[in-house]
Amino acid sequence: MEKPKLKTVQELVAAGEGLPERYLFPPTGGGEGQPLNGLMPEMEISAIDLSLLFSSSDEGQEELRKLHSALSTWGVVQVRNHGITEAFLDKVYAQTKQFFAFSTEEKQKYAREVGGYQGYGNDIIISDDQALDWIDRLHLTTYPEDLRQLKFWPEIPTGFRETLHEYTMKLNILRDQLFKGMARSLELEDNCFVEMCGENSIMDIRFNMYPPCPRPDKVIGSRPHTDGSAVTLLLPDKNVGGLQFLKDGNWYEAPIIPDTILVTVGDVLEIMSNGVYKSPIHRVVTNTEKERISVATFCFPHAEQVIQPVDGLVSEATPRLYKTIKNYAEIYFKYYHQGRKSIEGAMV
Ligand SMILES: O=C(O)CCC(=O)C(=O)O
Ligand SMILES: [Fe+2]
């Protein structure tokens, strides 16, 4: 059961009351010998040209190989030629920044309710000794349209709602193209992931705000986690780093790439691909100087949809790793709040 809500991080900073204990000593998840605010090695994130994934040319084949290599190692790739203009991505980013810059009173009109997950607020607290993340969020289900709860959709800044609708529709097309390209890169039938996720598949957008933090050595922005989605389409901050990925027990810093969309594999795709595509553990660290904004869109199947490793990836040589499941979100949050790796809940 959720505990009563606390002040948002932005309110806490504005009140100037010092740093509550609850934010100290977060789980850092590996990377022994790598201080939380230390300089991490930078990772490379491969760039894929979406338009080439469906070309039968040699270049197209090369692009599919690159996609396969990126998603089976780091579990993250950047997409180019995705059909969404830089100007539009800038607008999404700028309006998100504007929303968080409004007064607490304005933002609280869209406050998340205790026990719910849509709306504006800080970390969901389910136990009294839970370490808290240095993050405020606005979380909205944006697709399909009949699941929208418009009372949580900000009317500020002007035009934000329209932008959200447009962004959702654009990402909806992108998601299906990516699923098809991913299927192709695994030599599967183009539609297999789209069909398994179903026509009623869902999109949740999470707008993340990490205010500057007085103790980046002791406080984390977003604790280590994998995403419970099938894929996540992430618009990271254009200017401020902090996103890190864990590989072979070490943390690596994601480079800052303006106006890109990062595609990360979520647990559901790891399950569907029978573990070939890896859902990476990632986290966000804080800094003392600058706020950081990101917009994460989680694409996941409806709770009623049956999810399992696709036939083409299960064989004697590659035995089935995951069970047939429904409603992965339930498994995910149960494990997440216990600080365990969620996908273990789906293993055979
Ligand atoms: O802020 C970011 O760049 C990443 C956020 C994230 O991992 C998430 O919202 O799941
Ligand atoms: Fe994430």
pLDDT of residue 131: 87
Q: How far is CA 300 from CA 26, 56, 172, 215, 297, in A?
A: 28, 29, 11, 35, 10
User: Is the overall model pTM greater than 0.90, yes or no?
Assistant: yes
Nearest ligand to the C-alpha of residue 137?
Answer: 1
Nearest ligand to the C-alpha of residue 284?
Answer: 1
In this structure, the number of other CB atoms found within 10 A of the CB of residue 75 comes to 23
Q: Which residues of the chain are modeled with pLDDT < 70? A: none
Cβ burial, residue 2 (10 Å; 0-12/13-18/19+) = middle
Distance CA 43, CA 234 (A): 17
Do residues 174 and 83 make contact, with C-beta atoms less than 8 angstroms apart? yes
pLDDT of residue 5: 79
Ligand 1: which of 96, 97, 135, 208 to mutate, most ligand atoms within 8 Å of CB?
208
Distance CA 154, CA 176 (A): 27
Total number of residues shown for the chain: 348
Distance CA 200, CA 304 (A): 10
pLDDT of residue 160: 98
Cβ burial, residue 130 (10 Å; 0-12/13-18/19+) = middle
Distance CA 93, CA 72 (A): 29
- Which atom of ligand 1 lies closest to the CA of 237? 3
Distance CA 16, CA 12 (A): 7
Q: How far is CA 321 from CA 75, 221, 237, 272, 330, in A?
A: 18, 32, 35, 10, 19
pLDDT of residue 33: 79
The yes/no answer to whether this complex scores an ipTM above 0.90 is yes
Q: Kindly tell me the sign of the dihedral angle through the C-alpha atoms of 333, 260, 97, 153.
A: negative
Report which of 94, 227, 207 is spatially closest to residue 153, judged by C-alpha positions.
Answer: 207
pLDDT of residue 54: 95
φ and ψ of 146, to 5 deg: -75, -5
Q: Where are the beta strands (DSSP E) in the chain?
A: 47-49, 76-80, 119-122, 136-143, 202-210, 220-225, 231-235, 243-247, 250-253, 261-265, 282-285, 292-300
Parallel/antiparallel/unpaired status of strands 220-225 and 119-122: unpaired
Site residues for ligand 1, CB cut-off 6 Å:
206, 208, 222, 227, 234, 236, 243, 282, 284, 294, 296
| Residue with CA nearest ligand 1 atom 9 | 296
Report which of 212, 142, 201, 150 is spatially closest to residue 176, judged by C-alpha positions.
Answer: 201
User: Can you name the CATH fold of 40-120+140-346?
Assistant: Jelly Rolls (2.60.120)
- Which atom of ligand 1 lies closest to the CA of 292? 1
Query: Domain ranges in the chain?
Result: 40-120+140-346
Single-letter residue type at 282: H
Report which of 330, 326, 333 is spatially closest to residue 301, judged by C-alpha positions.
Answer: 326
| Residue with CA nearest ligand 1 atom 6 | 296
Nearest ligand to the C-alpha of residue 238?
Answer: 1
- Which atom of ligand 1 lies closest to the CA of 227? 10
Expressed in angstroms, the distance from the first to the final Cα of the chain is: 28
Cα 208 to ligand 1 centre (Å) = 7
In this structure, the number of other CB atoms found within 10 A of the CB of residue 50 comes to 19
Cα 2 to ligand 2 centre (Å) = 21
pLDDT of residue 66: 98
Cα 282 to ligand 2 centre (Å) = 6
